[in-house]
Amino acid sequence: MKKKIIAGASVTLAVAIFLGWNGKGESTEADMPVADAQKGDLVIDVLEGGNIQALNFLEFRNEVKLSGGVKILEIIDEGYYVSEEDVAKGKVLVRLDQSELEEAIVDHDVQFQQTEAAYAEAKQGIEIQESEALSDIKLERQKLRFALLDFEKFVGASASRSTLKKLGLPFDNDSLAAYEKEATTLIVNAFDTRKLADDAIDETDVTSFALETEGSLAANVNFESFLKDELLGDGEAEQTIRRMRDEALVASSELAVVEESVEGAKRLHERDFITRQTLENELVGLDKARLALQRSETELELFRDYEFPKEAEKMLSVYEEALLSLIRSKREKMAKMSQVYAKYRSAKRRYELELKKRENLEEQLASCIIRAELPGLVAYGGAKTNYYTSRFYEGISSGATLKNGQPIITIPDMSKLGVEVNIHESHIKKIELGQKVYITAESVPDKTLIGRIAKVAVLPDSNASRYNPSLKVYPATVEIEGTHEFLKPGMSAKVEIIVDELEDVTYVPVQAVFVENSEHFVFRKTMNGYERQPVQIGAYNNDFIELKEGIEEGDKVFLKMPDSYEPPKVQNPSRIARGDAERKIEEAEKEKADKTASTVGETEVTDPSDEKA
């Protein structure tokens, strides 16, 4: 069995001072308190107090978000045991006043219906605008194909293809599709919201609109060369030229026939075979034939020099404009659809917010009735409620007003209990997960339970230092092994955390060790008085410290510094250790003072507003 040290350091120190006081304000080596150096097993532990809590629990909080809070209409008695039958029947544990929430839901319904109608209208608007946009673009695409066909029909397929290729324009259905796809990609990128936002920041490259426009590509084509170089294909223009050529050829042939007829008429008139009138008729026919030939030749020349270039350029311009019109129409529809989409997104977002608000109101309304979900004892308040938080809430009872988020009732899981303790900063380095712990409930002091360290906070508890800034404690959870029916949540308990168990070591009370210039020493009692003896320290607890060298079992050491001892002047002897062991006395006294201050803060500190009241 390990030897367990229970006596408190503060009690030992008080007894030692009392025994060393001679009534005249000074002490002598003969009557100074001493202690024997002992050898045996030494338990290095940390003693703390805490409250027994359920590690697993079902906690119900007030979820009603009303500025004035919500009242409790009905609540189950504290300590009531929720049975399996209660859970099956859905027994009501708490009923809150839901009248104000019902009014809020009715008021919200009107606004929600308007928002829902606007959302449906915006959604239908997208389908309508998309249909109109597709129809308009389809017409523009058809007009573009017809313009290309008209140009091909007029100048011929080969001439049209070669001309459009030189100008870099689409020349067939495949190239038209590729052109439209590329243009559409550029348009979509131009409507990118991020790019628009970036452009809005820097608009230095934006200039005002000018009436000067770029020249048409059709104006740069020399269509007269088509006739000179015989580049014209088998199209409408070529057919027109052929017809005019044929007409001129016929007129020329008719002129030759008429001229020969006139020569014969002249010979007949000279011989008086025909009259003068007949000859003149023949001459008139000759003039008509000449005029017909001249007219045919002039029409051919005018068509070649004027009509053909004009019509060809006109048709090419129409095709070029149809290309621009398709892209322009796509831009316009894209801009209009962007507005429609923006309106839809805005309506949808507003609808989602209103829907979420409605669902939240309905959830709050449903939370006004709390039913049994888990068997166990009913406890008022939260499982982690402490003085600093509970003092801002009104007590739980029928008719009380609850704030948002205030714990109402808790049903703990009694199969797994633990102890919530606060570890003083002087001991936190010694605490590790899994360390063995002995637990004693103050209501049942004759039973010692076993547990383990299950959780240690990384940062100190801010609430504990609110009224005492010098107090630094770290919350920790001790898990109790097994189940014990006599344990109840909220019971006070003491825990002894076993840090280490030393076997067969020499130890003395912590009050017997002093430090001077980083050297530890004790005052060993001798026949003639005392002897300053350097020692090497080891582990320690609240009462005893291990001495690895310098002292043997049975040696007597003083528990305070002799009055006759005079350290070197350059040195500053002190009983306060500067390392782990050196600080032990100071830490023990500080810890005791902190705990006392903490107790006073929890019981006596009042809110300034309470004092004013």
The model's pLDDT over 430-467, given as tens digits with 9 standing for 90+, comes to: 888 998 999 999 888 888 999 999 999 888 887 776 66
pLDDT at 460: 87
For the entire predicted model, the pTM comes to 0.52
205 pLDDT above the threshold of 80? no
Please state the length of the chain: 613
Confidence of residue 193 (pLDDT cuts 50, 70, 90): low
pLDDT at residue 587, rounded to an integer: 60
More confident residue, 297 or 216: 297
Within 156-275, residue ranges assigned H as helices are: 157-167, 173-190, 193-201, 224-228, 236-270
In tens, the pLDDT along 558-605 reads 998 888 887 766 444 444 444 444 555 556 556 655 555 444 344 333
Beta bridge pairs of residue 530 = 525
Rounded percentage of the chain residues whose pLDDT exceeds 90: 16
Check: CATH 2.40.50 for 57-97+368-412?
Answer: yes
- 225: helix, coil or strand? helix
Domain ranges across the chain:
9-51+418-604, 57-97+368-412, 113-199+232-359
Q: Which residues of 22-36 are buried (b: 16+ CB within 10 A; e: fewer)?
A: eeeeebebeebbbbe
> Domain 9-51+418-604 maps to which CATH number in 1.10.530.10, 3.40.50.720, 2.40.30.170, 2.130.10.10?
2.40.30.170
pLDDT in tens, 43-100: 888 888 888 888 888 889 999 988 888 999 999 998 898 989 999 999 999 999 999 9
Convert the pLDDT of each residue in 487-516 to its tens digit: 888 889 999 888 888 888 999 999 999 998
Segment 168-188 shows an average pLDDT of 81
Residue 389 pLDDT class (50, 70, 90 cuts): low
Q: Tokens 């016929």 sit at which residue? A: 250
| DSSP strand pairing (514-516 vs 544-549) | unpaired
What span, in angstroms and rounded, lies between the C-alpha atoms of 485 and 40?
Answer: 37
Q: How far apart are CA 87 and CA 277, in angstroms?
A: 135
Sign of CA dihedral 284, 286, 291, 292: positive
Non-local (6+) Cβ contacts of 125 within 8 A are 340, 343, 344
Question: If pLDDT is split at 50, 70 and 90, which confidence band does 11 have?
Answer: very low
CA 455 to chain centre: 29
Could you tell me the pLDDT band of residue 349, with boundaries at 50, 70 and 90? very high
CA dihedral 412, 413, 416, 421 (to 10 degrees): -10
What is the average pLDDT across 286-302? 87
Q: Give residue 208's pLDDT band: very low, low, confident or very high (50, 70, 90).
A: very low
Predicted local distance difference test score (pLDDT) of residue 71? 92
Banded model confidence at residue 337, pLDDT cuts 50, 70, 90: confident
pLDDT of 16 above 60: no
The string of pLDDT tens digits covering residues 224-238 is 777 665 667 778 887
Q: Residue 350's pLDDT is what? A: 92
